[in-house]
Structure 1
């Protein structure tokens, strides 16, 4: 992958630099050719990982391409090539985020659209809008940017215009910009043509039924802008919400591309932010069938689109009552079998699995390096499912579930941790999620036993030691969240590993010892201090539990932990102070909220659109303050004039004094205005707090009323229970008498049973002894017979061996005579061999010389070929020289062939001599072996 893309990227960078230095047509054509090659390579999905921002060379290539697009003088053909390359790169999520965050691509594309605004059907504009729609997905654009207003006006104009090829990407772009962006939403609501825009967007829901992307884009725009407006309330009210749910689920199931499914999931998640829609979803009639369809998408989706499916399922799990229905649907679709079948199915591709639970386990077992966020979301969904599965009464086939999950979870914990790996942060996140999942599984005793059997203590020690030795928190003790990358996830690994140990320590004594030694180790202090001062709820709770358990130990480092917590708190205070100081120094005039007005028709004060309460008081106070200042200034001017008339002093000094006083008064006035604004904000907050207190007081009174009613009902129930208790006590006394009688009879029967057992035991012992003695007698008789037969066989064999010994001694004497003769012949052949070896060495030296000459000739040929490629223009002049050189080369090649034939002949002679020597050696060795025998 890297070997294929690196030379192409280098060629593009070189061609781009040449084009920037000298913008000629030849340089532009050469750059377009290199871009075509790179576009062809980036169509492969595997190559895109090379273009992540961690690599310097691809980063330089993308910056060069963005610079070319930013240049207004760039020709349309070259800009289209650059956009084609970026279209391929946007398919990767990490590159898409880097294009928005690092390379600032959105304003560049917006500038191209603004430049080509007149030509709507222009292919460059279409490509820019399409790319902008892909780049802005999942990214919040600030309304304060200069290009946003122009871009919104262009997009709205295209949506409200006639049907063309820009309508669909403009709808998607508007859906991206409006999502979770209150400033943009309020700007669109304050437009003069807001109602006509809503009508044109709503027309897409009924006009083109086959185009699902238009429908989902329009629905997402309506949910963002009109959810709390009149149009949105009509569309999302209780009467029509079921139809809206059906429409969204049908888009999700029928969507042929991952983009349609992503927008459908985002639409559903945006709708679930409304409490009324949540309640409507929990009582939706076709919820079970729709969830079945969503679960089937797990094994029929790609790695990118399955992430959105898991996000939707996790959002459903957050709705009250829906998680249990998801659990029921999974159990109805799951057919648990033996363990071998599990392993076979997990080794298959996910498209061949028809079980949603097995498909989820399959996604969770994948690597984050190849499948990005899919394993992480799969683990989150498994955690939610098994939490509901364990704690809600769906207890069935727990051992099979443990066999399904344990190998995958243990293999994840055994993964080799490499800090230099680009995906190391995601690997740490996956380990944390596995540890959390194991702690959830410990809620069931059967699975807990399986975990204790399969989990090795060395895995946990390896995880802890790696974090102690390489984590930023452990090395620096005081951490800075902005300077570290994966240390926060490393802290979670340590904390959740210890949390898992607390749940397994009673079953496994080794884990108990490791847990106590880990809490008494001073290296754990930075991790506990960071967890306790964290902003995350679960991390703080787990850390508090660990500190509570560690405080009972003698060697727990309490003093070090206190110092570390103090250091963390002081550093956070210093960082906040530095942050506020930099904000004040960088933008001192940014005290007023954002004001934007167009044609005097609309305006909004801030992003939250807070109504200005107590405005009349502010006006009166401001007017009074201004009148006081005006009177003071008039009196100063009168004194100044009278002073000039009476006294003869330097007027410039007097003017400077009064200017200084005026400036001081102005500064005081601005300070007082700031104080007034602060008091107004405080009044608003106090009004909100009072309203909240009143609502809470009303809630508390309602709860108290309910508690009183419950108390009365409980007292009535307790009186009934007392009467029932009296009846039960009477029954108990009568039953106790019956029980005493039965106990006495039971004792007699036990004595008789014990005597019977003793007699039966003695009888069985005697019978076993008799059977064993009879069996041993039979075995001894058989052994006696076999030994006698073996004795006769050995005598016969001894006689035959004596006869063979006599024959072998006679043959030995004959072979010794033959050996002496062969040794003489061997000496003669050795002398001949020495002569042949000397001749062989001479031939080898000649062969080496020939090889050197051949190499020199080959080098000369290579040089000539290079000269030929570089001198194409001088080809006609050098034809005669090349022909003469080729004749010389042919002569040399003929000489080399003759020498090769001579070498082959000599080699054949050598082989013959070696064969003769080998025969002689084998004969001599055979005779020597015979003599030894």
Structure 2
């Protein structure tokens, strides 16, 4: 089987400039779009040759991960070219060479650029067109490599949750199930079971279609056998499918007596990965998260320990597995989906009070080795310091996830003795990180997602500052970095710009529970984190003390507290109530509201 085009064992160069300028990229997309348009109008041999040449240029361009991550749907030429893809793939006149070039190109883009992948899978409905190519490949007997090229594109596209299952879905599912039970096992079977895993994870309809298939009984028996397979992607995909499809087998695999082995197996898949098949770690991380964290049945949106994870701390391998998982953050490129999923998993564990301390302590205790001098904690701090530009148009800004995890870890380091021990990260690096977070330029002309990221970065910077403020040496510098005047500027910006103020002045009947734009909620978090920080600094600086009480007396804080208490997540509600209790100390504060 083919290896992924990206070697995950190599971290990318932090300061390398983009290898291709925008004008060159635009020229490549313009030529490709023009060639595609001409081909759609007239699939002559001349137009076919021009299209193939343009596809070669695009394939060379996206062979570099950094270029792929910088691709954006805001580029009109690129978006128009992509819109031609399903048309060309569906056309009976398109030859195998041209189709093969499309498979390579679309896979390279979808594998490393999540927003464009979602566009392909959702709005473009590309899976149907790719499946038509699969049927043509079978009909014309185009060979194993052609089959693998098509299936790996289907695998990466089907990983998205917004895949619409249309008329082609039944035929695709039937084909995939047949390949999973086929004897002897075809070399493309791992892709088939991974696609089924993706479809079942994303859609109850897909699960239903699998279960009503005439070959389901044979398929179900095969899943149990595949748990002993030597390909990790097959094992973890089988575990996921069993969980969604077969209640009887699920109860056996995930029962109290056996779930220990299920956890050990899934952690092994996550930490070892699979160089021969992509997205193995993503599937393993998703499964571990579901096994440990679930939503509270009484309080929607509040994470709680899943029944399958209730004994996870008793497993002798758990702490070591957390450390091995964290060590992946040293070697993985933070722009990859693998890295993002590992941050998601560790943050999900930290969202549970029962796991936060042992998980954080496990990561903190990871020591340098002869082959790996950088600790996970150092790698997390490094990723948290990366500028957003390193992530291009990626929806998953791993910098923010790293900031959240770093704050959890440093809090665990500092809290016991109110002093930061030696952890391999200079205090100056953390001070600089906070300064960069708080110095975000907030301009309404930015894209909504980018603007939200900027607001959230300010919020997380304040949260990190509050944690570090309990260390005396850090606090001395924070009094300057977060000067009273600067804190006032942060509060004033939110009081004057945040839509929550206008939202809560409307009559109750005109209010909606969801407040737009998204950054508004992060802005509420900014005010709450600012209050927490000033509550610490006020005991060490008169000007910060004055600013603290001035902030609590400001009636403009009321909408922020009201919305946070009424509609915030668990953490926001707790912080809003804490801030309210501080405000209530002010005689003039209208606490009856």
TM-score band by shorter chain is: 0.7 to 0.9
Give the alignment of 1:208-287 within 5 angstroms.
209=230, 211-226=231-246, 229-257=247-275, 259-273=279-293, 275-287=306-318
Q: Which 10-residue stretch deviates more, 438-447 or 21-30? A: 438-447
Q: Which of the numbers 400, 425, 441 marks the counterpart of 1:376? A: 400
Deviation of 1:331 (Å): 4.2
Give the alignment of 1:908-927 within 5 angstroms.
none
Q: Which of the numbers 31, 39, 42 marks the counterpart of 1:22? A: 42
Deviation of 1:86 (Å): 0.9
Query: Is the 1:248–1:268 Cα contact (8 Å) retained in structure 2?
Result: yes
- Residues 1:68 and 2:68 are matched in the alignment: no
Residue deviations 1:139-171 (CA, integer Å, cap 9, x gap): 25466x433333222221221224224312111
Residue deviations 1:435-490 (CA, integer Å, cap 9, x gap): 23334455667765664455323432343344455545568876875763533323
C-alpha distance in 1 between matches for 2:251 and 2:495? 55
Q: Give TM-score, length-normalised by structure 1.
A: 0.52
Deviation of 1:96 (Å): 1.5
- Residues 1:95 and 2:95 are matched in the alignment: no
C-alpha distance in 1 between matches for 2:516 and 2:344? 29
Residue deviations 1:345-368 (CA, integer Å, cap 9, x gap): xxxxxx974222222211222223
- Residues 1:502 and 2:535 are matched in the alignment: yes
Residue deviations 1:815-845 (CA, integer Å, cap 9, x gap): xxxxxxxxxxxxxxxxxxxxxxxxxxxxxxx
C-alpha distance in 2 between matches for 1:399 and 1:245? 33
Q: Which runs of 5+ in 2 are unaligned?
A: 1-20, 295-305
Deviation of 1:285 (Å): 1.6
Structure-1 residue corresponding to 2:179: 158
Structure-1 residue corresponding to 2:190: 168
Q: Give TM-score, length-normalised by structure 2.
A: 0.79
Structure-1 residue corresponding to 2:439: 414
C-alpha distance in 2 between matches for 1:2 and 1:525? 46
Closer, same or farther in 2 for the Cα pair 1:370/1:462, shift >3 Å?
farther
Greater RCO (Cα-Cα under 8 Å, separation 6 or more): 2
Deviation of 1:173 (Å): 0.6
Residue deviations 1:66-107 (CA, integer Å, cap 9, x gap): 332344553433332222221121121222122223323233
Deviation of 1:197 (Å): 0.7
Closer, same or farther in 2 for the Cα pair 1:524/1:312, shift >3 Å?
closer
Deviation of 1:176 (Å): 0.7
Query: Is the 1:282–1:319 Cα contact (8 Å) retained in structure 2?
Result: no
Closer, same or farther in 2 for the Cα pair 1:147/1:507, shift >3 Å?
farther
Structure-2 residue corresponding to 1:294: 325
Deviation of 1:296 (Å): 2.1
Closer, same or farther in 2 for the Cα pair 1:549/1:10, shift >3 Å?
same
Deviation of 1:60 (Å): 1.7
C-alpha distance in 2 between matches for 1:472 and 1:119? 59
Structure-2 residue corresponding to 1:367: 387
Closer, same or farther in 2 for the Cα pair 1:399/1:130, shift >3 Å?
closer
Deviation of 1:175 (Å): 0.9
Deviation of 1:27 (Å): 1.3
Deviation of 1:530 (Å): 4.0
Instruction: State the structure with more CA Rg.
Output: 1
Structure-2 residue corresponding to 1:425: 452
Closer, same or farther in 2 for the Cα pair 1:394/1:272, shift >3 Å?
farther
Query: Is the 2:121–2:160 Cα contact (8 Å) retained in structure 1?
Result: no
Residue deviations 1:177-218 (CA, integer Å, cap 9, x gap): 1115334334433444323112323333334x2x33222322
Q: Which 10-residue stretch deviates more, 55-64 or 168-177? A: 55-64
C-alpha distance in 2 between matches for 1:446 and 1:298? 28
Greater helix fraction, Structure 1 or Structure 2: 1
Closer, same or farther in 2 for the Cα pair 1:536/1:287, shift >3 Å?
closer
Structure-1 residue corresponding to 2:465: 438
Give the alignment of 1:482-561 within 5 angstroms.
484-521=517-554, 524=557, 527-528=560-561, 530-550=563-583, 553=586
C-alpha distance in 2 between matches for 1:199 and 1:521? 66
Give the alignment of 1:707-786 within 5 angstroms.
none
C-alpha distance in 1 between matches for 2:146 and 2:517? 41
Match of 1:77, SS state, is helix
C-alpha distance in 1 between matches for 2:89 and 2:199? 22
- Residues 1:463 and 2:490 are matched in the alignment: yes
C-alpha distance in 1 between matches for 2:136 and 2:471? 65
C-alpha distance in 2 between matches for 1:147 and 1:504? 62
Match of 1:494, SS state, is helix
Deviation of 1:402 (Å): 8.3
Match of 1:243, SS state, is helix
Closer, same or farther in 2 for the Cα pair 1:474/1:296, shift >3 Å?
same
Closer, same or farther in 2 for the Cα pair 1:396/1:242, shift >3 Å?
farther
Structure-2 residue corresponding to 1:724: none
Deviation of 1:135 (Å): 1.4
Corresponding pairs, count: 539
Q: Which of the numbers 175, 190, 201 marks the counterpart of 1:179? A: 201
Match of 1:333, SS state, is coil
Query: Is the 2:418–2:471 Cα contact (8 Å) retained in structure 1?
Result: no
C-alpha distance in 2 between matches for 1:13 and 1:532? 50
Residue deviations 1:674-722 (CA, integer Å, cap 9, x gap): xxxxxxxxxxxxxxxxxxxxxxxxxxxxxxxxxxxxxxxxxxxxxxxxx
Match of 1:385, SS state, is helix
Residue deviations 1:705-763 (CA, integer Å, cap 9, x gap): xxxxxxxxxxxxxxxxxxxxxxxxxxxxxxxxxxxxxxxxxxxxxxxxxxxxxxxxxxx
Residue deviations 1:193-247 (CA, integer Å, cap 9, x gap): 323112323333334x2x3322232233223334xx2323333334433333332
Structure-1 residue corresponding to 2:53: 33
